[in-house]
């Protein structure tokens, strides 16, 4: 049983966070440097973008947490530190500056970055900002909110969530913050997501939990079909909850995975709903699949279809586009068995049965599709497996935002 609570990444015991303006962004009113700090050496696990073009911080972070532990996450926005000649040097130097400020090993620093690719970046903002950031660290919920704000780029709202759960009679908390509005189509990676927990869990089991979780969380989100160069999903576990160490599969591990899933799926919905230019959050829910993988492929194909996304923007119940996406998805489906319906707070309407159109009220459909959150229910009628994917509509503003993103 999980319960949503306040606090984000500072809800779990042992963590502090903060965010400041360090001068990476020209706009001095926007925070651009975030930190999450653990009072003790924490178990750490991560997954990264599969894009062959990777930001320098990913290479440095992979090296730093190769032993399964970390103390701190440092993330800047405004400049992705990707395709820069001195990118590795800056990532390592910023880790050293954190080490000096917090009296920790530089190798215990996770480095992340987001913003424009290929822009010059110096160490000056980090030299100036990290000592200030140390002073801004807080155990309170304002620390998490500041960090969540500092990692934003085109995001319009901060994204943070926390839950508490009971594992082996001990209360365990999992909290997270995320950023992502465009360039979102992860594959065994995600946007930028930082999760903290006070659960006691070994690095090996934490990595297993993270790697399994993304299959049904961040890998099922798409805004525009672009996989970013800087995507990273990191979890740090302080062990302060006092539960028996989770070192193998079993009831405690499953309980931890449920708590982690509650956080990541909530963040998925926030990310999808805040897609660049989006006016509607979309959910694609597939049931009746022969295998889990078929359900995942089918759900993500529908949520990623530009034509489906555009139809929802116009509140047009063009269900044929849903079947079209299913047909080219590569999922093992029987088109003659597919049922489709659309639902929202305004109601639900069947639009397709056994792969054929049915008579429905266009007026009611328009009302249903005019809501801010819309679900496409797809029953493949071919098995018992299911999956859910999250996305948003495709609007004129998406083109406007990305037409001059750099300039």
Q: Which of 79, 128, 124 is nearest to 101 (CA)?
A: 128
The answer to whether residue 291 is catalytic is no
Other beta carbons within 10 angstroms of residue 257's beta carbon come to 18
Q: Going by DSSP bridges, is the β-strand pair 33-48/69-76 parallel, antiparallel, or unpaired? A: antiparallel
Residue position matching structure tokens 């990913």: 58
Q: Which helix (H) or strand (E) holds 87?
A: helix 87-102
Are 197 and 221 contacting, i.e. CB atoms less than 8 angstroms apart? no
Other beta carbons within 10 angstroms of residue 131's beta carbon come to 12
Please give the distance of CA 148 from its chain centroid, rounded to a whole number. 12
Strand partners for 234: 46, 194
The two structure tokens encoding residue 31: 């925070």
- CA atoms lying within 13 Å on the CB side of residue 215: 12
Please give the distance of CA 246 from its chain centroid, rounded to a whole number. 25
Residues, the chain, total? 407
Choice among 61, 82, 190, 196 that is catalytic: 190
Output the CA–CA distances (angstroms, integers) from residue 175 to 1, 198, 199, 234, in the order listed: 15, 9, 11, 12
At 170, is the secondary structure helix, strand, or coil? Answer: strand
The span from the CA of 216 to the CA of 268, in Å, is 10
Output the CA–CA distances (angstroms, integers) from residue 203 to 45, 50, 196, 331, in the order listed: 7, 22, 13, 34
Active-site amino acid positions: 190
């Amino acid at each position: 049983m999980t319960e949503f609570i306040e606090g984000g990444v500072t809800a779990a015991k042992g963590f502090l966070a903060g965010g400041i303006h360090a001068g990476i962004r020209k706009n001095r009113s926007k925070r651009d440097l975030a930190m999450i700090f653990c009072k003790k050496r924490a178990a750490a696990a991560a997954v990264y973008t599969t894009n062959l073009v990777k930001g320098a911080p990913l290479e440095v972070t992979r090296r730093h947490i190769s032993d399964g532990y970390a103390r701190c996450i440092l993330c800047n926005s405004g400049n992705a530190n990707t395709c820069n000649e001195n990118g590795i040097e800056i990532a390592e130097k910023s880790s050293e500056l954190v080490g000096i400020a917090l009296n920790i090993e530089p190798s215990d620093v996770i480095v992340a970055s987001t913003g424009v690719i290929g822009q010059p970046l110096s160490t000056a903002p980090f030299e100036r900002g990290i000592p200030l950031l140390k002073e801004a660290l807080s155990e309170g919920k304002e620390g998490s909110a500041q960090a969540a704000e500092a990692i934003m780029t085109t995001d319009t709202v901060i994204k943070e969530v926390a839950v508490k759960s009971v594992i082996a009679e001990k209360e365990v908390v999992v909290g997270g913050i995320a950023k992502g509005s465009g360039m979102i189509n992860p594959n065994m990676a995600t946007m930028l997501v930082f999760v903290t927990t006070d659960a006691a869990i070994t690095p090996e089991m934490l990595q297993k939990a993270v790697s399994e979780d993304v299959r049904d969380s961040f890998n099922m989100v798409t805004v525009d079909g672009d996989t970013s160069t800087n995507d990273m999903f990191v979890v740090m576990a302080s062990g302060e909850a006092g539960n028996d160490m989770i070192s193998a599969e079993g009831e405690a591990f499953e309980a931890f995975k449920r708590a982690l899933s509650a956080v990541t799926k909530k963040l998925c919905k926030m990310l999808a709903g805040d897609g660049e230019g989006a006016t509607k959050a979309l959910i694609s829910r597939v049931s009746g699949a022969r295998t889990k993988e078929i359900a995942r492929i089918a759900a993500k194909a529908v949520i990623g279809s530009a034509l489906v996304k555009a139809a929802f923007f116009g509140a047009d119940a063009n269900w044929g586009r849903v079947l079209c996406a299913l047909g080219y998805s590569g999922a093992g489906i029987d088109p003659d068995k597919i049922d489709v319906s659309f639902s929202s707070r305004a109601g639900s309407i069947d639009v397709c049965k056994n792969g054929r159109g049915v008579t429905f009220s266009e007026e009611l459909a328009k009302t249903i599709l005019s809501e801010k959150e819309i679900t496409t229910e797809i029953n493949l009628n071919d098995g018992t497996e299911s999956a859910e994917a999250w996305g948003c509509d495709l609007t004129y503003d998406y083109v406007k935002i990305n037409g001059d993103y750099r300039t």
